[in-house]
Amino acid sequence: MTETPQTRAGFIALIGEPNAGKSTLLNQMVGAKVSIVTHKVQTTRARIRGIAMEGDAQLVFVDTPGIFRPRRRLDRSMVAAAWGGVSDADIIVLLIEAQRGLTDGVQEILTNLRETAGTRPVALAINKIDRVNPEVLLALTKQMNDAYDFAQTFMISAQKGRGTGDLRKWLAETLPAGPWLYPEDQLADLPMRMIAAEITREKLTLRLHEELPYQLTVETENWEDRKDGSAKIDQIVYVARDGHKGIVLGHKGEAIRAVGKAAREELAEFLDRPVHLFLTVKVREKWLDEAERFTEMGLDFNDG
């Protein structure tokens, strides 16, 4: 008589400082783009769950916002969301950059982990290992494990996929036994409307500079599945000031057209069907203080 394989499933929180590579690691693990990845810090606002299968285990990744010292209500809500992701998780993975090492920010995260992790396993993933020499890497590994009792340490390059297979295998073996939480072929539990808005916001972030990307948000106002198989998507880009509207639009609308084209092409590839994307830019001076905008981003307004 053949035994039925024992399935495992659970939530894995990826935490770390801004720009440590959490979103890149999530996308590498899932094998698809489900989280916004840019060269700018603090771009992940909501806890994005990406889902990966490893043998008989279902790994549900929670990509949290980077943990930093908050200044505004939005910042405070993002940090609260990050620690909320930790409290919901079965396993915690702390991601640090090899070249940055044990920073003050990482020290603060370790202090909080000592209070919040309890008996749950915490793994260390040292990212961007190709940017430092082996001696530095060995010294950092010892320093980090002296500072915290990690269940396991992994040397990875999230961008190139180096070491991520070993991490995924360990996670699959460490998750609790239980039934799968999502259908086998599902990549994320975010609504497609939110994923579409994140894709457009990423293109805006890449196109624009300085503080502006953190002063805007994108909402999918309307989604229409057409009879010919295509999707018509209407989105609103909210900015905080009149001057920002001009920057987003660009000279004779050049910037918003470029953003729309890039977002439409990626959405069409992601959905595997034609997409008609229409962007409107609106000024809402107080959007950073509106509970509705926070809910749309998957954040809790009251945590700010």
Query: Does the structure show a pLDDT above 60 at 134?
Result: yes
Residue with tokens 């972030």: 205
32: helix, strand or coil: coil
Pick the CATH number of 192-303 from 1.10.287.110, 3.90.190.10, 3.30.530.20, 3.30.300.20: 3.30.300.20
This prediction's pTM = 0.60
The whole-number pLDDT of residue 51 equals 81
For residues 96-115, b (16+ Cβ closer than 10 Å) or e, as one string? bbbebbeeebbeebbeebee
Asked if 8-174 and 192-303 have one fold, the answer is: no
CATH architecture label of 8-174: 3-Layer(aba) Sandwich (3.40)
Instruction: Provide CB contacts within 8 A for 165, sequence distance 6+.
Output: none
Query: Where residue 257 falls among pLDDT bands split at 50, 70, 90?
Result: very high
47-69 pLDDT tens trace: 556 788 888 998 888 766 554 44
The percent of residues in the chain predicted with pLDDT above 90, rounded, is: 35
CB distance 63 to 44 below 8 Å: yes
The whole-number pLDDT of residue 179 equals 92
> Can you give the residue ranges of every domain in the chain?
8-174, 192-303
d(CA 218, CA 293) in angstroms, rounded, equals 9
Which residue has better confidence, 282 or 299?
282
